[in-house]
């Protein structure tokens, strides 16, 4: 209960600060939309080809916008040494990890709520039916991305070129999440159901659960590095 | 609260900021931590606050080694660095609400809200309770830092150059708060270059020079003798 209370307290503070600063969300949203426009101008795709390429293109956009969010994740705490204030306080470090992870999931979710329908419009995809199920898959992918991303954002916090270092460390480790999400999205777009992609969904859920647990347990040491 | 610093040393690369420090401080003491720039005052405060780890030696709080993993120990320590550790985009009131909730100093929603309002009034920020901390002047931010630790009331209060840009009223406010804290049994350690001012306030003085302890004496009456002894260790220093 205490962990949950502390998580909500920190998350509320982060959302309030974002609401007032408009730093991460606007940048992520415009960058995501810009990428879709670039894809649209670059590829002359038939509707059949779009269904094949949509998962990959969408995830490329989400990866880049999500990484933007991750690089900003602890920036709000840098001013006035507020991170030191948090680390000195008696909160459970797991709560700090959960709050930062949830914060980035919320930001990515909000960006995707706009970017995915925009993709459908730009590429004139025939059916909007798979969209709700796709959101669910993308949400699971977001969880995996943000969980691992938050751990690595904390690890690279004191590095000089952390904006460059973070994607270099993060992307190779994200391969299972990227593959699983893309396979699930492909199956949904082609056949309207998961079918043979079910093992990928299990992998995705397993990844989320394992790294969420690991994150809560190790964040104490991670932020102390 | 009893603090024991044993064989404490801290190195940054090849540079030793602190070397083999031995200090014991008991509850109710107000300690002036003095010394020239680079003497190791801030390093010692950061070590006591648990923000950095010692290279050698240890710090014990009431006999228990200080670790960053202990929530109970962290709850007992406060670091007052004027204007720092506050969110610029939260109002003065929101900052205090956030930190009191973070330190779990709950007294029921109404009484905590009242306590925050009273504390803001007491530090002269009642009219600015709804202003963003970033919009406050440096002096007001110092007062907000005081308000924060007044509410949280830690057993070990560390202060790094607390006078900052405080005006006369602010200094009186800070000093009466520090006296009240130590009278309640808290340990107060103040690192400052305002030597005359902190000597007047503190019951003990510690001088560091190049990371070494060169003077540690409890205040004796008459105060002049202590000041003379102190003066011998700071030739040409800021007095």
H-only helix segments in A22-130: 24-42, 47-72, 75-78, 82-88, 93-122
Whether residue B78 has pLDDT greater than 90: yes
Query: Which of B68, B87, B104 is facing A224, going by the closest CB pair?
Result: B68
Instruction: Please name the residue of chain A whose CA is at the shortest distance from the CA of residue B52.
Output: A224
Task: Give how far B229 is from chain A: nearest CA, Å.
Answer: 36
CB contact under 8 A, B71 and A80: no
For B184, how many CA atoms within 13 A lie in the half-sphere containing its CB? 14
Q: Which of B50, B52, B53, B68 would you mutate first to test chain A, the one with the most A CBs within 10 A?
A: B68
Contact A215, A225 (CB under 8 A): no
d(CA A60, CA A181): 12
Enumerate residues 194 to 223 of chain A having a beta carbon within 8 A of any beta carbon in chain B: 220
Q: Which of A9, A15, A79, A80 would you mutate first to test chain B, the one with the most B CBs within 10 A?
A: A80
Task: Give how far A22 is from chain B: nearest CA, Å.
Answer: 11
Could you report the per-residue pLDDT of A94-134, keeping only the tens digit for each?
999 999 999 999 999 999 999 999 988 888 877 788 888 89
CA distances from B149 to A85, B72, B141, B153, B160 (A): 12, 17, 13, 6, 13
Task: Give how far B51 is from chain A: nearest CA, Å.
Answer: 7
d(CA B114, CA B148): 14
Whether residue B119 has pLDDT greater than 90: yes
pTM of the prediction? Answer: 0.88
Task: Give how far A175 is from chain B: nearest CA, Å.
Answer: 33
Q: What is the pLDDT of residue A161?
A: 82
Enumerate residues 146 to 165 of chain A having a beta carbon within 8 A of any beta carbon in chain B: none
Whether residue B238 has pLDDT greater than 60: no
Along chain A (225 residues), what's the average pLDDT of each consecutive run of 10 residues? 92 94 88 91 80 88 92 83 91 93 95 92 82 91 95 87 87 93 89 82 94 92 76
CB contact under 8 A, A85 and B69: no
Q: What is the pLDDT of residue B239?
A: 42
């Amino acid at each position: 209960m205490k962990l949950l209370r502390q998580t909500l307290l920190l998350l509320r503070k982060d959302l309030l600060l974002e609401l007032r600063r408009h730093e991460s969300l606007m940048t992520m949203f415009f960058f995501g939309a810009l990428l879709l426009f670039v894809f649209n101008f670059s590829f002359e795709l038939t509707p059949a080809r779009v269904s094949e390429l949509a998962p990959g293109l969408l995830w490329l956009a989400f990866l880049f916008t999500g990484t933007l969010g991750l690089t900003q994740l602890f920036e709000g705490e840098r001013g006035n040494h507020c991170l030191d204030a948090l680390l000195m306080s008696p909160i459970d470090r797991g709560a700090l990890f959960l709050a930062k992870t949830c914060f980035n999931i919320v930001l990515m979710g909000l960006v995707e709520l706009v970017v995915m329908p925009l993709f459908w419009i730009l590429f004139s995809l025939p059916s909007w039916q798979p969209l709700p199920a796709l959101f669910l898959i993308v949400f699971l992918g977001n969880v995996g991305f943000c969980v691992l991303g938050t751990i690595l954002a904390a690890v690279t916090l004191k590095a000089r070129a952390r904006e460059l270092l973070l994607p270099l460390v993060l992307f190779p480790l994200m391969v299972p999440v990227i593959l699983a999400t893309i396979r699930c999205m492909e199956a949904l777009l082609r056949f309207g159901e998961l079918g043979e992609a079910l093992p990928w969904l299990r992998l995705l859920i397993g990844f989320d659960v394992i790294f969420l647990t690991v994150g809560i347990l190790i964040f104490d040491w991670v932020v102390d590095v | 609260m009893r603090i024991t610093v044993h064989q404490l040393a801290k190195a940054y690369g090849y540079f030793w900021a602190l070397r083999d420090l031995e200090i014991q401080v008991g509850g109710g003491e107000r300690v002036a931590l003095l010394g020239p720039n680079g003497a190791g005052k801030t390093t010692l405060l950061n070590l006591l606050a648990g923000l950095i780890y010692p290279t050698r030696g240890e710090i014990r709080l009431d006999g228990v080694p200080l670790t960053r993993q202990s929530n109970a120990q962290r709850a007992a320590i406060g670091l007052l660095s004027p204007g720092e550790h506050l969110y610029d985009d939260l109002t003065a009131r929101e900052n205090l609400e956030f930190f009191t909730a973070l330190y779990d100093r709950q007294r029921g929603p109404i009484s905590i809200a009242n306590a925050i309002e009273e504390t803001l009034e007491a530090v002269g920020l009642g009219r600015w309770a709804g202003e963003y901390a970033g919009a406050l002047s440096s002096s007001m931010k110092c007062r907000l830092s005081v308000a924060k630790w007044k509410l949280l009331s830690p057993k070990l209060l560390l202060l790094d150059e607390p006078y900052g840009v405080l005006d006369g009223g602010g200094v009186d406010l800070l000093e009466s708060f520090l006296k009240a804290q130590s009278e309640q049994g808290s340990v107060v350690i103040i690192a400052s270059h305002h030597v005359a001012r902190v000597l007047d306030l503190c019951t003990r003085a510690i001088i560091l020079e190049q990371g070494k302890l060169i003077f540690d004496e409890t205040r004796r009456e008459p105060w002049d003798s202590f000041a003379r002894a102190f003066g011998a260790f700071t030739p040409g220093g800021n007095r």
